[in-house]
Structure 1
Amino acid sequence: MNNLAGIDLNLLVVLDALLAERHVSRAAIRLNKSQPAVSHALARLRTLFDDPLLVRHGGQLEPTARALEIAPRLAEALAHMRQLMGSQPFDPARERHVFRLAMSDYAALVLLPQLMAVLRRQAPNVDLIVCQARREVMMSQVVDGEIDLALGVFPGLAEDLRTSLLFEEHFACLADGASLNGEKTMDLAAYLERPHILVSLRGDAGNEIDLALAATGHRRRIALALPHWSAAPGLVRGTDLVLTVARRILPRDAEIGSLAVFDPPFAIPPFAFRQIWHRRRDGDPAHRWLRDLIAHILAPPEALSANALS
């Protein structure tokens, strides 16, 4: 494909959608085209590149080695073209789009209920596909173009990745109020006497909480280690267990009932929660719209108040 004369460059837009969706029907929805039209375009692309590009495996299309090589450069080139052509702003009320997001169970709890409520009201034709993976896998998926946006804690990023800070998260403790004998908090000695719940994908003690506790010369007994943020708060009720987790996942005031929320009796550094994307997506109006929407939803209340006053 050395000579561009006579080549329909719209085919490259179709290829970009196919590489992102890995499914003819979803790519057709994304492009607002018919499925036969996208299938026909794929046949022409295979001839142009002299490569199958996408081969069927199970229920989806898997990219060939050549397609994986093309994907990031193609997405970047199209983003530059949209900037050069002065692309129109994304209209969420009318346009169809599918975004692929990677996030943890924690991120899903914090973001998805509010995000989906906004999408159903303001962007009814915008769909999300959400997956979960380890931090390193998420970053590689963003680099490879498999994921549009990843949310989580990313202390170090590859050169081509962009990031924006969504909020700083702090830790809190949760215990059954009846087990506190009328107290509203717990000192370090009482904290260490209790059995604890640890939320961890690996189930080990190499986490922010135990590292901070170790810095004071102490360790706690983990009675239960599990990978599910959503299940953990409900396991405290009616027991002597203590749960120390990110504050945003704790039950709201109306749902706490007999549970008690209090500050940890030792210092735990907060963590920065971010969204990351590849720089090739910087100029994509739809991608920028989603990033801005997520940032607005997760902005700390004081930031929203400051914006309203400015």
Structure 2
Amino acid sequence: MPGRPPLSRLDLNLLVALDALLAERSVTKAAERLHLSQPALSASLARLRTHFNDPLLARRGNSYELTVLGIRLAEHASTALESARRVFDSQADWTPEQSTREFSIYGSDYAFATIGTAASALATERAPGVRFRFMLHNPLIIDDIGNRLRSVDGMLIPHGFLNDLPYVDLTRDRWLVVASESNTRISQGLTMKLMGDSPWVFTYQSRTAFTSASRQLQELGIEPRIDAVVESFLALPQFIAGTERLGLIQSGLAGIALGTPGIRLLEPPFEATPVLNALWWHPVHDRDPEHAWLRGLFTEAARRGA
């Protein structure tokens, strides 16, 4: 854009201030977060407003709201700041035993409760200073996954959602039907007709967020009547106990699901497509030795649990 200073003339400390201001929507809170004085951060905000020719934060009564540009910048600032941190955290000689790096991984609570916990436990044995940040994905993140994966280390998600990205296969799982022990409709067994007549709880339901088994039901001509959508596999049984609802859950969570009183698990009356879980990442990480160690860690954790 004409008139904009080159990157070499920008104070990149402003990126830190911008991220805090847009996240906190308050000069006072952002200053506390960064351990700076309020006048110092007010000066940074003034410079940012001049640079963007936009107030970024606009007063509404006793609080501040983000402007339209501020809303657009909020996510970009966080991503850019994380990328900058990764650049300056890189080391010529990296050893996992001495590392204090934090790896950021997107995924579902199912992925975290299974392969995530196994990889984290293995890392504690091999590299006690390494930390993990496991973050729940959502449909918006998956829709923008090409950009999102630039600023994180990977995503744990089954095949069928991402394309044209490097990955390593980890675990294979199968689907089970979740039902209430008090559900008398299934006393004689589970049939396709009963599945079509029953109310359901789905974990995801959108164009890009779904489970392979729920999509398969529709392909078999069953349009489930959905009572609730809860974006959590771990919470799913609680929405089913004591009702006539049905749900679908991976067998890897069977033990956790059965920990909910009044829940039973059944094999589906159709050949459900297995779940093939994988770790996906952006190609920018391909030659990163730290990331290569991470990939090996998850692969070994999956093999141990097989």
TM-score higher than 0.5: yes
What SS does the aligned partner of 2:280 have?
strand
- Indicate the residue corresponding to 2:29 in structure 1: none
Q: Distance in 2 between matches of 1:173 and 1:63?
A: 38
The alpha-carbon distance between structure 1 residues 185 and 102, as it changes in their structure 2 partners (threshold 3 A), is: same
What SS does the aligned partner of 1:299 have?
helix
- Indicate the residue corresponding to 1:112 in structure 2: 116
What SS does the aligned partner of 2:143 have?
helix
Q: 1:288 aligns with which of 269, 277, 292?
A: 292
- Indicate the residue corresponding to 2:237 in structure 1: 233
Q: Distance in 1 between matches of 2:135 and 2:208?
A: 23
Q: 1:259 aligns with which of 259, 263, 285?
A: 263
Deviation sequence 1:161-182 (CA, Å, 0-9, x none)? 3211112332110112342478
Q: 1:95 aligns with which of 89, 93, 99?
A: 99
CA contact (8 A) 1:194 1:242 kept: yes
CA contact (8 A) 1:198 1:224 kept: yes
The alpha-carbon distance between structure 1 residues 204 and 192, as it changes in their structure 2 partners (threshold 3 A), is: farther
Instruction: Report deviation, 1:153.
Output: 3.4
Q: Distance in 1 between matches of 2:220 and 2:230?
A: 25
Instruction: Report deviation, 1:229.
Output: 1.8
The unaligned stretches of length 5 or more in structure 2 are 22-33, 35-73
Q: Which amino acid aligns with 1:241?
A: R
Q: Distance in 1 between matches of 2:162 and 2:274?
A: 19
% identical equivalent positions: 18
CA contact (8 A) 2:157 2:278 kept: yes
Instruction: Report deviation, 1:259.
Output: 2.5
- Indicate the residue corresponding to 1:52 in structure 2: 11
Q: Distance in 1 between matches of 2:230 and 2:159?
A: 22
Q: Distance in 1 between matches of 2:208 and 2:283?
A: 35
**Alignment length, in residue pairs?**
241
Q: Distance in 2 between matches of 1:205 and 1:129?
A: 22
Deviation sequence 1:226-283 (CA, Å, 0-9, x none)? 2222211122222222112333233348736642211111233234322112333233
Q: Distance in 1 between matches of 2:6 and 2:301?
A: 45
Q: Distance in 2 between matches of 1:170 and 1:262?
A: 12
The unaligned stretches of length 5 or more in structure 1 are 1-45, 303-310
Q: 1:213 aligns with which of 213, 217, 227?
A: 217
Q: Distance in 2 between matches of 1:206 and 1:199?
A: 7
CA contact (8 A) 1:194 1:221 kept: yes
